[in-house]
Structure formats: structure tokens, C-alpha cells
Amino acid sequence: MKYLKQFLIILLISLIGEMLKYIIPLPVPASIYGMILLFICLMTGLIKLEHVKEVGKFLIEIMPVMFIPAGVGLVTSWEVLQPMLLPVCLITVVTLIAVMAVTGRLSQRIMQKRKEEDHE
């Protein structure tokens, strides 16, 4: 019963994210609204971590299974994707490198700032 309650909490947050997608006229996916809402609820204490922890771990563990339908969709749409394969691969590589560089630099700055705060 505990797992069902936790799963229902996550589903409710996801439903609210879906509703926000239609209310707020921004090109933001509903899942992003849901994640932001869940983050805010966790940070404010409206939802305790214990209320969603076990089901959250389970969903993360099975996440690779969720990509199987998308992979099958890519295989079945090969004729449509083939002409734009090079631009998509190029954009993917450039974006990957940019995200890695920004994340690395930001992590270094945060670690450096924490180290400075510890020495003071």
C-alpha cells in the first residue's frame, strides 16, 4: 500500500505538470513542469522525501526500459531519418560537448567555492 501511495503522489504531480503545460503558453514539456513542481514541493517540505523515495528509486532503476519504445520508433522511421542523420549527429555531438564543458566548469566553481568556505 505504501508503494501505491508513493506512486499516486508522483502521478498526481505529473498530472498537474500536464495541466500546467496547457495553461502556461511556453514551449516547455509537461514532464519539466512536473519535475520543477516536485522539486519545489520537496524543498518546501510540502512533500517529504520519505513519501516518494522508494518508488522514485524503482522508477530510476527501470528507466532504461522506458527508452525501448523510442528506439523501436527510430528503427521503424529509418527512411524519414536517413536524410537528416548527419545534421542530427553533428548537433548531438556539439550539444553533448557543450553540456559537458558547462557542467564541468560549474562543478569546479562550486567545489572551489565550498573549499574556500571550509578554510574560512
Q: Is residue 72 part of a domain?
A: no
One domain, residues 25 and 51: yes
Q: Is residue 71 part of a domain?
A: no
Count the domains in the chain.
2
One domain, residues 46 and 103: no
Question: Would you give per-residue pLDDT tens digits along the chain (120 residues)?
Answer: 889 999 999 999 999 999 999 999 899 999 999 999 999 999 999 999 999 999 999 999 999 998 898 888 888 888 888 889 899 899 999 999 999 999 999 999 999 999 888 887
One domain, residues 47 and 105: no
Cell triple for 13 = 504531480
One domain, residues 20 and 57: yes
Q: Is residue 47 part of a domain?
A: yes
pTM of the model: 0.64
Residue-range definition of the domain harbouring residue 97: 79-120
| 7 vs 1: CA distance, rounded Å | 10
One domain, residues 19 and 55: yes
Alpha carbon separation from 80 to 74, 85, 102 (Å, rounded): 9, 9, 33
Cell triple for 38 = 516536485
